[in-house]
Amino acid sequence: MTRKAAPPQAEDNSRRAELVRTAARLFRDQGYERTTVRDLGNAVGLQSGSLFYHFRNKEEILVAVMALGITSTTEQLAAALEVAKTPYDKVSALIHVHLNSLLGENQAALEVMLYEWRSVSAEQKPGLIVLRDRYEALWQSALDEAAAAGVVGQDTRLLRRMVLGSLHWSVQWFRRDGGDSVDALAERMLKLVIGPRPQAD
Amino acid sequence: MTRKAAPPQAEDNSRRAELVRTAARLFRDQGYERTTVRDLGNAVGLQSGSLFYHFRNKEEILVAVMALGITSTTEQLAAALEVAKTPYDKVSALIHVHLNSLLGENQAALEVMLYEWRSVSAEQKPGLIVLRDRYEALWQSALDEAAAAGVVGQDTRLLRRMVLGSLHWSVQWFRRDGGDSVDALAERMLKLVIGPRPQAD
DNA sequence: GTCTATATGGGGATAGAC
DNA sequence: GTCTATCCCCATATAGAC
């Protein structure tokens, strides 16, 4: 039975999931506006018209990429925070998870979420903002814990925005072949944000 | 005598300068790819075809906007660093100038430089990179001075990238009607980066 | 589900008059 | 310098066959 394209969340369909992953890479590399549906069709071995069986229109592909980027990062962060014991470890988790989601291999969707926001229509933004706020809430409570423990300063809302901005920008200059691994970079960044790991006393 | 469009640097022509300023605002608000030459023509009261008397093609407009954004910010920073006395004052100048260039009224060109990089062709990038490197060199030497004075840590190259990333991201969330002035925000950011202003001893 | 074929519109850019 | 008129291409999206 023919059906109309599913909502962004439903990634159970593996064909659709593959399209979203490929689109994420193309949108990251070339930008959303410069990537044509023909480009995407070529990359997955479909005629451009066939894409519209899976998605109502091009924007729906963009929204699906963004939703994937932010939800998968949120899940990974929630799991890492679950494991972290100290406030210090939690802040470390924020930076490691976020940086790996941005810079790790086969990671492109989160970067699209960050840098193609302007191409999302007003109708589609609210749904994505909900997802983004959920992610930032994890950050905020981890930072608030750290502030309560004296690990970071009190201006945690601005701190959250500055640290996230620092990490986001890394996509512009980080080169995987340039020395630091992603996790090594995360450690250096952590030290600039929070200072060296406290020793047991 | 008819002439062909001048290189990006030559902003002496006031008509051209006006076009560049208007284009900066449009590109910032709608994105470069989504802004049509017809949009720009409407905004300045010209037919779209007339724009091509002033610019060889659309990309030349983008490059001119970017060159304006980075060179004017560089000039302002150089002047501010000239006046600053202490390493602390110099770091303060970095943040205040950059933030005002990004968020101040009638400021749009620097933001375009930061967020539309992918739309610049390989041929045009080198010229802009030279301008960007000149700006970042001012940052680097100010931060190195601060490190030598013990005002910031030693990892100044990463610090430069992180602080610049923090500032760049502010365009995504700062609202002029939302409380802080640009300079007040700059002060709060400075304190997170460097701590409170040292008192005379 | 994917194809072929195509509708439809808008994009950048040019020519030549004024 | 700007206008009018228009070329030409390529974008998204649809229709209907298979």
Cα→Cα distances B80→A15, B92, B93, Å = 56, 10, 6
Question: Which chain B residues touch A189 with a CB distance below 8 Å?
Answer: 158, 162
Q: Report whether pLDDT(B154) > 50.
A: yes
> How many residues are given for chain A?
201
Q: How far is the CA of B50 from the C1' of C16 (A)?
A: 13
Q: What is the pLDDT of residues B139-151, one digit of tens each?
A: 999 999 999 999 9
B13/chain A closest Cα distance in angstroms:
32
Residue whose pair of structure tokens reads 């300079």 in the numeric block: B183
Q: CB-CB: which of B33, B115, B155 is closest to A33?
A: B33
A14/chain B closest Cα distance in angstroms:
30
Average pLDDT of every residue of chain B: 93
Q: What is the pLDDT of residues A155-164, one digit of tens each?
A: 999 999 999 9
Which nucleotide lies closest to A3 by the C1' atom and the CA atom? Answer: C1
- For A112, residues 6+ apart whose C-beta sits below 8 A from its C-beta are A24, A27, A28, A32, A62, A65, A66, A69
CATH numbers and ranges of domains, chain B? 58-194 (1.10.357.10)
Q: What is the pLDDT of residues B91-140, one digit of tens each?
A: 999 999 999 999 999 999 999 999 999 999 999 999 999 999 999 999 99
- pLDDT of A79 reads 98
Judged by DSSP in three states, A106 sits in coil
- For B50, residues 6+ apart whose C-beta sits below 8 A from its C-beta are B41
Q: Average pLDDT, stretch A27-31? A: 97
Residue whose pair of structure tokens reads 């304190």 in the numeric block: B191
Q: Report whether pLDDT(A8) > 60.
A: no
Q: Does residue B94 contact residue B13 with C-beta atoms inside 8 Å?
A: no
With 0-12 / 13-18 / 19 or more C-beta atoms within 10 angstroms meaning exposed / middle / buried, residue B7 is exposed
Cα→Cα distances A140→A64, A70, A146, A155, Å = 25, 16, 10, 11
pLDDT above 70 coverage of chain A, percent: 93
Q: Average pLDDT, stretch B1-20? A: 67
**How many contacts (CB atoms, under 8 Å) link A and B?**
75
